[in-house]
Structure 1
Amino acid sequence: MEDDIVPIIRVVISSTLSIESAALHGWKFCTDQLLHIDLKHSTLHNVLEKLDEVRLCTGVQEVTKHTKEHIIMKWESDQLKVEKTFSRAKNCIITVWDPDSVCTNCAKHDIKARYNRKYCSKKKLELLEKDERLTVQEDLHMEIMAMMNEESDNMNEWQRMFFQEQCSNAERHPNARRYHPDVIRWALELYARSPAGYQMLRQTGVLSLPSSGVLRQYRNFASSNAGVCESTLLQLEKLTKTIDAYLVVDEMKVRENLVYQDGRILGYVDHGDRHSPEDIATHICMFYVRSFDRTISMPVSWYPTKATPAAQLTSMFWEAFMACEFRSVRIHAVVADGASTNRKFFSIAHGAIGNPNYNNYTIPHPSLPEEPIFLCSDTSHLLKVSL
């Protein structure tokens, strides 16, 4: 129409009689929607009739941050005025064939906006949950609470703490929720194993857990200095009795990159006071301490590396070993996988280099010869990943 700013429908046809592009009220849409129009064997009149059958998707009903506006403007008495405004899903198909109908993508968005926490605003979600709550009789409520109290007697101390915290946080605003340090440690480990699974538990409301932003703050709190972790030493110094534990050593692949932080460039190989080649690190070599009764489980030291020689790995082990022994943690074993570097590290630590008959699987304890340190080759990673 002559009052429209842009054509109602615009189609660009190539010299090979194929549709190159198409737009409806100024919004481009996929030309696959017009594949049924045979330009080579149809008259111009028939083509125009089929194009006239194309209708505009009426958009979504629920406006969220995942929608965008489509404004149709017209001239009226030499003034530009808004005739219609549509809100669409970002992947709206634009075209439909039935008048006043909605495309499949906009329809899916409306369903997600009502029931999915990712799409629904917090205020609207609270109103929705309030409307969908069911009121039960007082007798039924007391019976359910009695059943839950009976089951709580079968829970261990950690389960009871977790259950009570979930009940208290369910009644609080998301910004006012508080979490026990053990819950934060558990959430960090769960998020490290599967970020997607962790987000699903939060978004579906199955569990009340800290957000990923909160976890990043806790995860980045530790110092980035290579070597023995000062925060771990402070925790070990608080022990009031001797703990029996073992050390786990392993390397993990990291992305090669240089980062400028706190006036330093991080990302190079750093073996502490030992010789370090001037290369960008590709792995992290970490020593981890775990007690047999699961009282402690934390990293002792870590080093950015590329290929850690067995001799330096032995020196790193004794450094982590002494850091634990001086703080009431008795180390009884060291666990490593079956890599050739680790096997040579075992030989050096035992003092069996050059001995072809070496078959001893222990290291002499520096101060307690009657209590050797056992060498465990965990080729299947069963001990390393056990909690």
Structure 2
Amino acid sequence: MPLPLYLLALAVFAMGTSEFMLAGLLPDIASELGVAVGTAGTLTSAFAIGMIVGAPLVAALARTWPRRSSLFGFVLAFAAAHVVGALTTSFPVLLATRVVAALANAGFLAVALTAAAALVPPGRKGRALAVLLSGTTTATVAGVPGGAVLGTLFGWRATFWTVAALCLPAALGILKGIPTNRLTAEATGGPALRAELAQLTRPRLMLVMLLGALVNAATFASFTFLAPVVTGTAGLDELWISVALVLFGAGSFTGVTVAGRLSDQRPGLVIAAGGPLLLLGWPALALLAHQPVALFALVFVQGALSFALGSTLITRVLYEAGGAPTMAGSYATAALNIGAAAGPLIAAATLGTAVGNLGPLWASGALVAAALLIACPFRTVVEAGPSAEVRQ
């Protein structure tokens, strides 16, 4: 894989850390800025909504810009939003910085997904996507727990400063390492924006986007509410939450890496093998969560299966959106973040039921079941190889 892919992954690492880090910082933010914890929780929602809306919007605005300049600008805007967030004493301003950061993140990821696909030969998009998403999975392994430690030792503002600092080497690397001649947008030879948007009327593309969103919703439904399972159901100390998060992140990194080697030529194998195992894993985790050893083992396995299946489906989005060369990344980004926004909302609704803390785990199982039931009649679509990349 070319070096520029790893430079993009570094920026994705910083952005992934920012997206997930608030879970451990909300109480301190709420206390210092004088708002309720529930109100502080809208910072997470604002980021997710900004990602969903921003991916296609910003990608459409930036489609005629040179990709290196776009990526560099998005990283700088993301860093600036975190500097303002670290300095402000106003919750509305902090909320606004999360929206700006989400828009920059969405624009960056949408362009980066398209750029990553352009950096590799045809038929290797899955490998490129695996490298790019390794930034997100590494964030769950190191960035999020590290942010929690920084927040505990030095306050939540230190975490914002650290994320901003991480953006600087990423920006410099993009500026120096991304070749201009290979990553410029098609000025006149590419399809018009209306033609690219028309790709969204293709049932095959909408199907794989829906499946990717459902699997990602299942992933974030349980990941968001993993802490109460560790401390409540398993009865462990709060320090073990970081262990569970690291194990989930390590599993996700493993899943993305393995699936990246299969998702181009053999996506059907990943889905046929990983889908049923993922479906069985969530209820198994709910039933065995009171046993710490089983809990931690299954957290790792579910992280691996979730990201293996999810990244394979998102790779399918890139192939099916081959007729939208500048917008394909935004469609993949939107699918990911619709799931990331919907999953926690669905999971939260289960917390007040009889199953309590285990509700999100059962909700994840139901979401995966829905994805597999939808996918079964359309196996030829989700199992298609690179030959299905463009169908006009």
TM bin, normalised by shorter chain, reads under 0.3
Q: Which has the larger radius of gyration?
A: 1
Between Structure 1 and Structure 2, which shows a larger proportion of helix residues?
A: 2
TM-score, normalised to structure 2, is 0.20
Q: Which has the bigger relative contact order, CA under 8 A and spacing at least 6?
A: 2
